[in-house]
Amino acid sequence: MKKYTSINDIDNLTSWIEEAKELKENPLKHCALGTKKTLGLLFFNTSLRTRLSTQKAALNLGMDPIVMNVSGDAWGIEFEDGSIMNGSTAEHIKEAAAVVSQYCDMIAVRAFPSLKDKEQDEAEHVLKAFMKYASVPVISMESATEHPLQGFTDAITISENTKKKRPKVVLSWAPHVNALPHAVANSFVQAMQKMDVEFIITNPKGYNLNSAITKETTIEHDQIVALKNADFVYAKNWSSYEDYGKILNTDTAWMLTKEKLGNAKFMHCLPVRRNLVAEDAVLDSNASLVIEQANNRTYAAQLVLKKILENL
Amino acid sequence: MKKYTSINDIDNLTSWIEEAKELKENPLKHCALGTKKTLGLLFFNTSLRTRLSTQKAALNLGMDPIVMNVSGDAWGIEFEDGSIMNGSTAEHIKEAAAVVSQYCDMIAVRAFPSLKDKEQDEAEHVLKAFMKYASVPVISMESATEHPLQGFTDAITISENTKKKRPKVVLSWAPHVNALPHAVANSFVQAMQKMDVEFIITNPKGYNLNSAITKETTIEHDQIVALKNADFVYAKNWSSYEDYGKILNTDTAWMLTKEKLGNAKFMHCLPVRRNLVAEDAVLDSNASLVIEQANNRTYAAQLVLKKILENL
Amino acid sequence: MKKYTSINDIDNLTSWIEEAKELKENPLKHCALGTKKTLGLLFFNTSLRTRLSTQKAALNLGMDPIVMNVSGDAWGIEFEDGSIMNGSTAEHIKEAAAVVSQYCDMIAVRAFPSLKDKEQDEAEHVLKAFMKYASVPVISMESATEHPLQGFTDAITISENTKKKRPKVVLSWAPHVNALPHAVANSFVQAMQKMDVEFIITNPKGYNLNSAITKETTIEHDQIVALKNADFVYAKNWSSYEDYGKILNTDTAWMLTKEKLGNAKFMHCLPVRRNLVAEDAVLDSNASLVIEQANNRTYAAQLVLKKILENL
């Protein structure tokens, strides 16, 4: 594999899930595969799980992770072609990406969207620039529109926890005080579309995700109807896609409660705001899979690193 | 051992000191004990010695240290149970601690006190939350009220440098421009109470430490009287405990001078403000043990990590 | 070798270049030389290439790099002797350097100049303090007046790319919006003075570098004349040395263009501001060596680390 920047980079989700489960059973089986290979982790934004799980995955494979907070450790990077760089940016992505490629055998990048300019965000100008100018494989640790390590993790977690051949999975919009990206939701949708599940999205009007991603997936605006007989409920806030990046709805009635959850398992990518996105009774119950999701982040990342290492 | 958050976690200080000295003689003797084990170092506050010495200790044991500045690298953590998280905190400690436990075989935490709310500081709400919600051993790299890696280091250093069976040790309050925590002083008091030393504390009126910690230890308000015939003098500022977190005294006469030190050895945890806490003539003399104390931080931490590794 | 803080620490540049090329051919040949040795990388300023290439070099030798951003991770350091530390600095360099020496087998430091106080900058008070108080070897990762890892890298790159026995090398001042240090230019000058090249500097009037460094090197104020028949052109901005730290000239006509470059190879230490220092047509052409320079940073650093390791 030469890159991992989208759920679409997974050629066969079923077999990937099985391979990730094998890594989870025996995380150190390939502990020499990455010997003397460096993974550069470049963060344009904060990170807890992604930061730690990707380092752990690299260490399990014997790699040397090198972490860099781009904003704090270095300087402003220019992404525009042809610009006269007499402003605040000190280095062009053409040089930055090519240079990091000299020191790292693969580059993992986190770069959130502006949520102000839909076109620019959808162009994925940061991630795409790294893909264009880096001479080594690039991994997305969450880009403007996708979070493929999370989406793959979620697929693994559902596979591990389902008791049915074809479970019902609901992605339910949740309230939040900040305008959040669509990346986690998008990658979850894409992962579910590749799995043998009954999948439905529920969100308030005005909050439909990009239809180019949701495609034929049913969108139900009545949360109670959508949650009926669910086996897995994934709660997640996102800002409006149509009225791009705006908060149109702060109705706390969309919070996930134990009563609404019923017998379903609860999922969330974390960090989760308690008693806003989901109530304590949900998160503190045995129905919650959020910690196991966090655990699976390691093995999702480890499989991606392994597949790239095998092709270096 | 399942945790190290207090001098009280040391079952036998004498034997711990001997074991630490053995590690110092041969730091790499157990260099494979921690192979493929990760130590997460979480800093809510700045750090130099603790940051470097704990990493060095982990490396000596073959562990992989993963450092994270919580404030800069991630986001605000919520510690209140039941709160509706619609403010500035993005993740509850319940999730944060459980999640970090998925990636690290043990977690070391530094979290200073507010020095504003005595009850909250004494409740050690950050450290205790990690201890409660982490599923792996927790090590304190200085909490609101204790700095047990420093206290153990100080005990090792006194043991190495004493020429007497029962030396006289004085903990002497020192002036400072900022309001400082009680953690270093508290752990030093607790360590001395476990050692065969003649121990006395000297501080201005209004600066007595928590009596639940000082217990029967003599407190002498006349510094000159206290320092008489001392073998070791530990200078350290702390803010008032009684008038909690306040600076009541800025009398520079409490600075430790070469004259006052006499034939005693000088100790300080560092960082030390020269010519405020102690004069240059003290710090630049052969009587100063401060660099050796810093050196011993590695072996204190290494013994703690070793004891925890042996019980994983 | 006991330190590397200047091009003057290179005893024989020709043989160093050959040794560095050998490391580049076989970077892992000495991969166990640094086992269980730590390299402390202390950054008082931001860094991308130096940060990553020095870590990579250390890893290639089996060392454990420990990175610390001094300003963000720790506290203010005092450099004045005898000062009463009742201000904003919390630790004296005497303790800081001695302490870091307890945990690291060598210390690499980046500390830029103020560009306000020529005397203080030329005294190299930060780097010199580390050299004085550290008990382990010190490496400069760019000090107030020199960037010897870059200068050595540049010499390697010219040696690799020259087709002539004695190529013509031009250091050409370039426009910039900020006042920049002289370190890169100074070390490049010193490196060229040790190589068998025809070397000339071109800069506007008022921008002559320190004559104690340029010595007999020709300085030509007419850029077009200087560039004639050049084989290598190194573009770089620096602020005025005479009118210390000032920007006297913003004439964009000094920007390097493809036309001016002619058949020469283009060099720059990076980060480079496109269309200000050099136009896109230069940086995007095959004549540009800037990425190869960045690549050679690893082997320059690796040879320095190797020579120090062999003398520990």
Spatial contact of C293 and C267, defined as CB atoms under 8 Å apart: yes
pLDDT digit string, tens, across residues C77-100: 999 999 999 998 999 999 999 999
Q: Pairing between strand B106-110 and B138-140?
A: parallel
Predicted pLDDT at C282 = 98
Residue A233, helix vs strand vs coil: strand
CB contact under 8 A, A99 and C48: yes
Nearest chain A alpha carbon to C283 = A95
Sign of CA dihedral B202, B203, B204, B205: negative
Which pLDDT does position C17 carry in this prediction?
Answer: 98
B182: tokens are: 């009680």
- Cα A293 to Cα A270: distance, rounded to the nearest angstrom: 9
The DSSP call for residue C140 is E
**B245-289 residue pLDDT tens:** 999 998 999 999 999 999 999 999 999 999 999 999 999 999 999
**Mean pLDDT on C8-35:** 98
- State yes or no: pLDDT of B138 exceeds 80: yes
Beta carbons of B95 and A49 less than 8 Å apart: no
Q: Work out the angle at residue A41's Cα, subtended by the Cα atoms of residues A36 and A43, and round it to the nearest 5 degrees.
A: 165
Do A84 and C31 lie within an 8 Å CB cutoff? no
Contact A48 B75 (CB under 8 A): yes
Of B46, B271, B280, the CB nearest to C73: B46
Does the annotation flag A274 for ligand binding?
Answer: no
Residue B157: the pLDDT is 98
- Residue A49 pLDDT: 95
**Alpha carbons C123 and C176: distance in angstroms, whole number:** 26
**Gyration radius (Cα) of chain C, Å:** 19
Domain boundaries, chain A: 3-146+297-309, 150-293
Taking alpha carbons only, the member of C254, C185, C192 closest to residue C223 is: C254
Tokens 């950050």 correspond to what residue? B126
C249, amino acid identity: N
DSSP state of B34: T
Q: Which chains sit next to A, with 3 or more Cβ pairs under 8 A? A: B, C
C150 Cβ under 8 Å from any chain A Cβ: no
Number of A/C CB contacts below 8 angstroms equals: 91
Angle (CA) C14-C283-C233 rounded to 5° is 40
User: Taking 90 as the threshold, does the pLDDT of residue C70 lie above it?
Assistant: no
Is A26 exposed, middle or buried (CB count within 10 Å of its CB: 0-12, 13-18, 19+)?
exposed
Name subunits touching B (3+ CB pairs < 8 A): A, C
The alpha-carbon gap from A78 to the nearest alpha carbon of chain C, in Å, equals 9
B32 touches chain A (CB under 8 A): no
Is B214 a residue whose pLDDT tops 80? yes
The helix (H) or strand (E) run that includes residue B29 is none
Digit-coded pLDDT (tens) for B18-64: 999 999 999 999 999 999 999 999 999 989 999 999 999 999 999 99
Q: Was A166 annotated as part of a binding site? A: no
**At B286, phi and psi to the nearest 5?**
-65, -15
Residue pair C100/C107 in contact by the 8 Å Cβ criterion? yes
Q: Is B308 helix (H, G, I), strand (E, B) or coil?
A: helix
- pLDDT tens digits for chain A (312 residues)? 999 999 999 999 999 999 999 999 999 999 999 999 999 999 999 899 999 999 999 999 999 999 999 876 777 899 999 999 999 899 999 999 999 999 999 999 999 999 999 999 999 999 999 999 999 999 999 999 999 999 999 999 999 999 999 999 999 999 999 999 999 999 999 999 999 999 999 999 999 999 999 999 999 999 999 999 999 999 999 999 999 999 999 899 999 999 999 999 999 999 999 999 999 999 999 999 999 999 999 999 999 999 999 999
What distance in Å separates residue C175's CA from the closest CA in chain B? 34
Fold of B148-293: Rossmann fold (3.40.50)
Instruction: Determine the pLDDT at residue B189.
Output: 98
Query: Which candidate from B73, B83, B102 shows the least CB-CB separation from A51?
Result: B73
pLDDT above 90 (res B163): yes
Q: Is residue A175 exposed (0-12), middle (13-18) or buried (19+ Cβ within 10 Å)? A: buried
pLDDT value of position C195: 97
Dist. CA B265–CA C69, nearest whole Å: 33
By CB atoms closer than 10 A (0-12, 13-18, 19+), residue B280 is middle
Q: Cα(B126)–Cα(B89) distance, rounded to whole angstroms?
A: 14
Burial C19-48 (b: 16+ CB within 10 A, else e): bbeebbeebeebbebbeebbbbbbbbebbb
CATH class entry, domain C150-293: alpha beta
- SS3 at position C278: strand
In this structure, the strands spanning C64-69 and C198-202 are: unpaired
pLDDT tens string C107-163: 999 999 999 999 999 999 999 999 999 999 999 999 999 999 999 999 999 999 999
Output the six-digit token pair for B206. 């209004």
Q: At what angle do helices C290-309 and C148-161 cross, to 10 degrees?
A: 120
- For A3-146+297-309, the fitting CATH number among 3.40.50.1370, 3.50.50.60, 3.90.110.10, 1.10.3720.10 is 3.40.50.1370
Fold equal for B3-146+297-309 and B148-293: yes
Which residue's entry shows tokens 């304590």? A280
Verify cis geometry, omega within 30 degrees of 0, for the bond prior to A175: no
Note the CATH architecture for domain C3-146+296-309: 3-Layer(aba) Sandwich (3.40)
- Torsion B134-B136-B142-B144 (CA) sign: positive
Residue B161 banded pLDDT, cuts 50, 70, 90:
very high
Q: Are A7 and A151 in contact (CB under 8 A)?
A: yes
> How confident is the model at residue A70, as a pLDDT?
86
Answer whether A283 touches B (CB < 8 Å). yes
